[in-house]
């Protein structure tokens, strides 16, 4: 009996030890699980708050952009030389402020204040440019413009189509001299010949990234970078190109029911914002820059919109470029307002520099340069001059036919916070 009692005394407290061991083992599983749940809940709240804030800001911008004429009138009071932010009306209860300032002043109706937006050189062309318009004494600045009967974009005589380029019908000795009338910045009565941007040195995925935008909806997202494979966009899945610079060396093709928005801006894409696209795509090199986007085509790169794949929904193809804008202090500010451009010039075999392309009597195009101080050779930025150039030299006379487009009279900048 004494031995039995001794054994019972030795067992006293062993249950408590087992309980402590079980609690400790359980803690290894429970605590990490609780931490994970708290992290997920916190991330979900931040995502919801971010989405709500984004929608509030977008709502404020939509409200001020609803009436463009009223917006321009309100922002006119901000001034040009020393602009003052003007508070704009926003829907009540949103807890936001919307302000605008005037960033520039463009005269729409005076031809000499507009640049030569497009100049084409054609050999053997049969294009006939009509006689200049004789303006009434009340509008002397319109004298010499092309009449509205020929320019289908004009709606009245107060909106000129443009003037013929001074070098039109020039002889063979002067056809290549047009670069003397070119400028790298948008300037009145000049030909705009912009620099190339610094391309993001990241490989672009030709298939894009599928991003779940809620409710089972998918948005296919592309990111700025270098695309060296064919990119084919078709089908009914909406597509969004994140704001920035894109470089294509093969065909970018839109067909079928492709619904595409390029860059952030006035036209909404299929995803809330560039920031959301970068955060949700799961792409390590994902990035964005400014708003809007610029497509640069080199080598065999080209953009095609075709009917190779028939429309299923009946909507057909829609491709919208939002206006490209970056901060004035950004090096890529030279690319503002440029949506599509090519790498000009030619690279000879084993060449180390891009040379001007010159086809005597047909076409002369100066070699592109990458913006910088000093300017950068395109090959050093891994650009390749476009190979889609004329191979034949048709006989005949050269004609240069310029067209104009008209810019807004005032360009306000609106922001919501």
pLDDT in tens, 48-87: 777 777 777 777 777 776 676 677 777 777 766 667 888 8
The domain spans of the chain are 1-105, 209-341
- Burial-class residue 81 by CB neighbours within 10 Å (0-12, 13-18, 19+): exposed
Tokens of 259: 């619904």
In the block, residue with structure tokens 């953009």: 303
Which residues in 63-208 belong to E strands, given as ranges? 86-88, 98-105, 118-123, 182-183, 191-192
CA gap 244, 246 in Å, rounded: 7
DSSP structure string for 348-414 = -TT-SS-B-EEETTTEEEPPP-BSSSS-B-GGGGT-------------S-EEEEEE-----SEEEEE
Q: Is the per-residue pLDDT at 342 higher than 90?
A: yes
CA gap 116, 345 in Å, rounded: 21
Mean pLDDT across the chain, nearest whole number? Answer: 75
Average pLDDT for 173-182: 71
**Residue range 149-162, pLDDT digits in tens:** 555 443 444 445 66
Q: Is the per-residue pLDDT at 296 higher than 80?
A: yes
Average pLDDT for 336-358: 88
Average pLDDT for 298-307: 91
């Amino acid at each position: 009996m004494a031995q039995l009692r001794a054994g019972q005394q030795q067992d006293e407290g062993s249950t408590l030890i087992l309980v402590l061991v079980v609690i400790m083992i359980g803690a290894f599983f429970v605590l990490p699980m609780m931490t994970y749940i708290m992290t997920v809940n916190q991330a979900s709240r931040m995502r919801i708050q971010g989405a709500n804030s984004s929608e509030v800001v977008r709502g404020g911008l939509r409200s001020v952009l609803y009436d463009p004429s009223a917006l321009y009138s309100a922002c006119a009071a901000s001034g040009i030389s020393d602009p003052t932010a003007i508070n704009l009306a926003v829907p009540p209860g949103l807890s936001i402020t919307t302000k605008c300032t005037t960033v520039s002043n463009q005269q729409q109706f005076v031809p000499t204040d507009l640049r030569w937006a497009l100049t084409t050189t054609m050999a053997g062309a049969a294009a006939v440019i009509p006689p200049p318009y004789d303006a009434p004494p009340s509008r002397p600045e319109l004298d010499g413009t092309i009449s509205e009967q020929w320019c289908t974009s004009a709606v009245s005589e107060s909106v000129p189509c443009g003037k013929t380029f001074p070098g039109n019908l020039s002889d063979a000795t002067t056809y290549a001299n047009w670069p003397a009338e070119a400028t790298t910045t948008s300037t009145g009565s000049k030909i705009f010949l912009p620099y190339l941007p610094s391309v993001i040195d990241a490989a672009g995925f030709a298939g894009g990234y599928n991003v779940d935008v809620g409710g089972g909806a998918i948005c296919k997202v592309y990111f700025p970078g270098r695309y060296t494979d064919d990119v084919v966009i078709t089908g009914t899945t909406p597509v969004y190109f994140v704001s920035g610079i894109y470089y294509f060396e093969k065909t970018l093709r839109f067909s079928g029911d492709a619904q595409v928005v390029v860059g952030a801006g006035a036209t909404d894409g299929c995803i809330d914002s560039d920031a959301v696209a970068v955060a949700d795509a799961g792409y390590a090199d994902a990035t964005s820059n400014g708003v809007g986007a610029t497509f640069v085509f080199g080598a065999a790169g080209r953009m095609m919109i075709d009917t190779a794949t028939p429309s299923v929904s009946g909507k057909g193809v829609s491709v919208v470029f939002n206006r490209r804008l970056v901060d004035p202090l950004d090096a890529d500010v030279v690319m503002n307002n440029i949506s599509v451009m090519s790498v000009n010039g030619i690279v000879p075999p084993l060449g180390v520099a891009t040379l001007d392309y010159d086809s005597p009597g047909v076409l002369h195009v100066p070699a592109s340069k990458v913006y910088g101080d000093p300017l950068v050779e395109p090959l050093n930025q891994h650009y390749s001059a476009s190979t889609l150039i004329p191979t034949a030299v048709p006989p005949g006379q050269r004609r240069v036919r310029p067209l104009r487009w008209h810019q807004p009279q005032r360009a306000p900048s609106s922001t919501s916070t």
